[in-house]
Homo-oligomer: A and B are copies of this chain.
Amino acid sequence: MSNHIYKKIELVGSSTTTIEDAVNNAVAKAAESIRNIRWVEILETRCHVEEQKVTHWQVTVKIGFTLEDN
């Protein structure tokens, strides 16, 4: 645990199945452009409803990652 600086970004992941899957989808998307992801904070969960059934779980997350040294 050295003197690292971390950055957090806020994403909304989506899934047709579970809350956990929505979080995993957000992390997978973030991993396309960010290295060294360290943690996720779940902020809010909402559902999109169509024809009177939940069709998507929408989870707002903060994703924390290490800023690399220059």
| A residues with CB within 8 A of B | 1, 3-16, 18-20, 23-29, 31-32, 35, 37-42, 44-50, 52-57, 60, 62-64, 67, 70
Inside 8 A of A57's CB, which chain B residues have their CB?
A: 20
The docked-state distance in angstroms from the alpha carbon of A55 to that of B1 is 9
Cα-based distance from A47 to B63 in the complex (angstroms): 9
Contact among B1, B12, B16, B47 with A40 in the assembled complex (CB-CB below 8 Å): B47
19 new A-B pairs (CB below 8 Å) besides A8-B11, A28-B52? A1-B55, A3-B14, A3-B15, A3-B16, A3-B56, A4-B14, A5-B11, A7-B10, A8-B60, A10-B10, A11-B67, A18-B20, A19-B20, A24-B53, A27-B49, A27-B52, A27-B53, A38-B49, A39-B46
